[in-house]
A and B are shown apart, each in its own frame.
Chain A
Amino acid sequence: MSDTTASGPMLAADGRPLKESLRRALRRQKLRALALIAPLLLFVLLTFVIPILSMLVRSVENDIVATTLPGTVPALTEWDSSQGDIPPEDVYRNLFFDMFNAAEAKEHTKLGTRLNYENTGLASLFRTSGRSMDDIGEIFQDAIEDIDARFEDGAFWYEMMNGTGGGALVAERRTRWTELTDDDMNGDIGFTPSQAVVDLLPTTAAAYTDFAIWTVIDAEDVVAEEDPWEAVYAALAIDLRDPARAAAIASYAGPGADALQALTAAGLPEQSFTDAFIELDEDWGDADVWQTVALYSPTYTPGYFLNSVDRELTINGVAARPDNEQIYIKLFMRTLWMSLIITSSCILLGYPVAWLLANLPVRSANVLMILVLLPFWTSLLVRTSAWKVLLQQQGVINEILVWLGFVDDANRLILMNNSTGTIIAMTHILLPFMILPLYSVMKTIQPTYLRAAKSLGATNWTAFWRVYFPQSIPGIGAGSILVFILSIGYYITPEIVGGTDGVFISNRIAYNISRSLNWGLAAALGTILLVLVMALYWLYDRIVGIDNVKLGG
């Protein structure tokens, strides 16, 4: 309120400063206007903006590796992937515990599916390995139970592990489970590892806590009554075999100390996890598999975008995909090129029709208008299928041409299952989108201008080309943008009549969504398509000017 004058602010009837009162009235008006558009705004937000945002996120999102293998991924960072060696034992040990948990939660197959997009064979590697994690754990379980039968008893384990002070560990493992399963893992588990055990047997404490959380939250059992799962025995063997802990274990006096000391005295199996995994499936001994895991371990990946332009991520940086797998760039180019052809043929066919519509007497123009609109009101699928009947080799068009003798019966024209079919059918389907804006623009062009041009000596052609045509350009612009953008994203028609060389990029997007389930790649392809359309729109604005586009009067 800076504009006070000597006589004070100007006041409204109710005694408030006029400016404030005015602003209030305006605000109310704005709110009312907002309330009016709110349903539409909400609708657009929910069905348009949010899905597009989610698509953008999906095209780079890749947290599945890090959440499914939370121990393995950090361990892998110390491995030099370029040497062609397999990772150290430490990585395999972490993989065992990660895979064990993931298999319990049935998440390992999802990771296998994800990585199979990058390296064929990983789907079954993860699926079959997940089933065998128990077997690796049992090697340790059998050995431990043979030495001291008390380890067969869940209550004994509980007494040994339970105590106070290990709350931080429970919280940490709980977070891991939450990230792994995407489920809420909250709730009292009735177990806290004792600090002494956490210090003495860190691997065991972590594995037992994992077991406790899963047992209580997912299986809804009581920890003390359940025998621990195999991974806990494996963890115990790792801790007890660790020479750095020998002294601490020998002097340990907590619950179950004598049993632990008995285990160390008897000696535990020297099972290497590397060997166990390679025995399970020799692919685990393949550096290539590990390179894929390492390459795709970051939470965000450019991998999907690279795949969308026929490139791939390798340990040596970005490389072109093998020649026999390159398809996307070709499809993008084809989509753009064919959309351009379709747009041009729509202009060529639509312009005279629109001119007729605008210049015929009202009665006949109306009939013509209905002829234009009728197919527009028919289902897209029906129209496309009708084209199939017309275009096929034994179809109506070929039959007529053969009957008329224009075409030899043995060499009937191939009008569909190729790009010709797509262009013909799509031109017909999109034609109304060209005719309607053209018509509404032509309707506003004064016939007097043409007459004036002619009376000044212009030929018919000059009058059309120099006077009429320039005025109809906004209609062509609007129609072209509509047709081009619609055809770039077309899916059904190319799928039905396109055969092999008449399909568009959207057919591949659909494949990745519904057949291959590679939603990340589909999102990346969709994003590229979106950016492409926006770039072309921008280009159009620069060259023609978006103000020159008219959809009517």
Chain B
Amino acid sequence: MKFTKSLLAVLAMGLSAGSAVADGNMASDMTLVSWGGAYQQSQINAYANPYVEMNSDVTVTWDESSAEAVAKLRAMNEAGSITWDVVDVVAADALRLCDEGLAMEIDPDEMLADAPDGTSAADDFGDLLVGDCFIPQIVYSTTFGYRTDLVPAGTEAPNDICDVFDLATYPGMRALEKRPINNVEWALLCDGVAKEDVYDVLATEEGQEQALAKLDTIKDSVIWWSAGADTPQLLADGEVFMGSTYNGRLFAAIVEQGQPIEMMWDAQVFDLDGWIIPEGLSDERLERALDFVRFATDTQRLADQAQYISYGPARQSSAPLVGKHATLGIDMAPHMPTDPNNAKNTFLYNFEFWADYRDDIDAKFQAWLAQ
């Protein structure tokens, strides 16, 4: 470790730059990392622009590297030069960054704003505070969309997760993510495993084989995607009949682009996305990062983000404040994954399980794919 570390440190020496200091103790530059696209735009509109309006001396730089955030933060850490201040990651990645000592531990009550009615931040976020480093921002779900015009005549539209596996009733290609997460859970649910037993079954060799065997029944009719934008494109082009992706992507395809696509919310898998602050920031930058995060995760700001994208705010106190879409003027609440009509049958991503089993099951999944 030391050999590579010192090498990288030499490399990084030339690259690290001190950031300017403004109003007393806070840095005036801040680099935020997110996912790009409509999601990042919603963050710019709801968080960054109002923040800069309040603090006109702050320059915000965006980096669209969230997909590689864990690897990049690790490389930065080894090089001894952290150039990011606040990073948007999914909860599973936050857990790993925390495990690796790359993300700072968070004390929600001290660092985050209380709800307007005085509820403490820890209570307001509740169970969504996964691990010790994660500051939740939104609840999103991975769920299915299908082409309304490709539903066979005389058949009712798919409304059950097991319709994905029913090639006889719903012929056509499916788009599934090229990784085991979510797919194996759905497979087991449709192979007779009760919802509460899914992870116990998946922890066994037989359970993993059972899940892959179920997926095997539709393997020839699957196009495997690796980027969230793939499924909406495949649906729009008529390449697939139904496909899984993040609900916000489907919202954009359905509502903003008017594609003949409909949501199938059954067994949607809830997941979280939020901020982490990298370990090892200088005091000035840390002050700035904390100041921004406190602002950007308060009740109003989280509710504001929902004007731009159909992801549910992570605070309970934000839910009643969710309004209409900023440009389309439609009510956003019915498009939220957390809306009671959509959340009749939901599934919660098990972070701890996947932190352990991710590599093991992925190896088997990839070997199965390559067969």
Contact = CB atoms under 8 A, between A and B. Distances in A.
Interface of A: 46, 50, 53-54, 57-58, 61, 63-64, 67, 106-107, 109-110, 112-113, 116-117, 120-124, 127, 182, 324-327, 330-331, 392-395, 417, 495, 499-501, 508, 511, 513-519
Contact of A121 (B96, B209, B356): B356
Nearest to A181: B101
A325 B4 CA distance: 30
Contacts of B7: 50, 53-54
Given A394-B238, A514-B70, A113 B226 contact: no
6 contacts: A120-B357, A182-B5, A500-B370, A508-B366, A516-B359, A517-B96
A214 to B, nearest CB: 15
Nearest to B2: A182
Nearest to A307: B363
A495 B224 CA distance: 10
Given A110-B101, A113-B100, A124 B356 contact: yes
Nearest to B358: A516
A517 B370 contact: no
A394 B239 contact: yes
Interface of chain A, helix or strand or loop or mixed?
helix
B71 A124 contact: no
B294 interface: no
B323 to A, nearest CB: 36
B259 to A, nearest CB: 14
B71 A327 contact: no
B352 interface: yes
Contact of B68 (A58, A331, A514): A514
A325 B364 contact: yes
Contact of A500 (B74, B224, B239): B224
Interface in B159-178: 173, 178
Contacts of A500: 178, 224, 369-370
Contacts of A518: 359
A178 to B, nearest CB: 10
Given A112-B99, A122-B356, 15 more contacts: A53-B7, A109-B101, A113-B99, A113-B100, A120-B357, A124-B355, A182-B5, A324-B364, A325-B367, A394-B237, A500-B224, A501-B370, A508-B366, A513-B71, A516-B362
Contact of A417 (B74, B223, B366): B223
B101 A106 contact: yes
Contacts of B368: 324
Contacts, number: 101
Interface residue tally of chain B, by bracket? 35 or more
B360 A120 contact: yes
Interface string B187-211: 0000000000000000000000100
B343 interface: no
Contacts of A392: 237, 239
A53 B6 CA distance: 13
Contact of B367 (A57, A63, A110, A327): A327
Contacts of B178: 500
Interface in B108-134: none
Contacts of B74: 517, 519
Given A46-B11, A109-B100, A113-B100, A499 B4 contact: no
B224 A54 contact: no
Contacts of A501: 370
A124 B370 contact: no
Contact of A113 (B2, B96, B237, B238): B96
B98 interface: yes
A517 B1 contact: no
B4 A54 contact: yes
Given A394-B238, A516-B362, A116 B356 contact: yes
B165 to A, nearest CB: 18
Contacts of A117: 359
A153 B68 CA distance: 48
Contacts of B11: 46, 50
Nearest to A50: B7
- Identify the interface centre among A122, A324, A495: most chain B CB within 10 Å of its CB: A324
B355 A123 contact: yes
B1 A116 contact: no
A88 B224 CA distance: 49
Nearest to B219: A500
Given A182-B5, A394-B238, A499 B71 contact: no
Contacts of A107: 101
B155 to A, nearest CB: 19
Nearest to A327: B367
B359 A116 contact: yes
Contacts of B70: 514, 517
Nearest to B240: A393
A246 to B, nearest CB: 42
B1 A64 contact: yes
B122 to A, nearest CB: 18
B8 interface: yes
Contacts of B367: 324-327
Contacts of B358: 516
Nearest to B233: A388
* Closest A-B pairs by Cβ, 4 of them: A109-B99, A120-B360, A514-B71, A54-B4
A44 to B, nearest CB: 13
A123 B99 contact: yes
B4 A57 contact: yes
A495 B225 CA distance: 9
Contacts of B71: 513-514, 517
B314 to A, nearest CB: 23
A46 B224 CA distance: 38
A121 B3 CA distance: 29
Nearest to B220: A414
Interface in B53-75: 67-68, 70-71, 74
A116 B5 CA distance: 23
Interface in B1-58: 1-5, 7-8, 11
Contacts of B352: 124
Nearest to A513: B71
A63 B2 CA distance: 9
B357 A324 contact: no
Contacts of A495: 226
A289 B359 CA distance: 17
Contacts of B223: 417, 499
B239 A393 contact: yes
Contacts of A63: 1
Contacts of A325: 363-364, 367
B67 to A, nearest CB: 8
A159 to B, nearest CB: 34
Contacts of A109: 98-101
Interface in B324-371: 352, 355-360, 362-364, 366-370
A286 to B, nearest CB: 14
Given A394-B239, A495-B226, A516-B359, A58 B100 contact: no
A501 B223 CA distance: 12
A495 B178 CA distance: 10
B148 to A, nearest CB: 17
Given A57-B3, A394-B237, A517-B71, A327 B355 contact: no
Contacts of B100: 109-110, 113, 517
A517 B93 CA distance: 11
A182 B279 CA distance: 15
A220 to B, nearest CB: 14
A58 B359 contact: no
Nearest to A127: B99
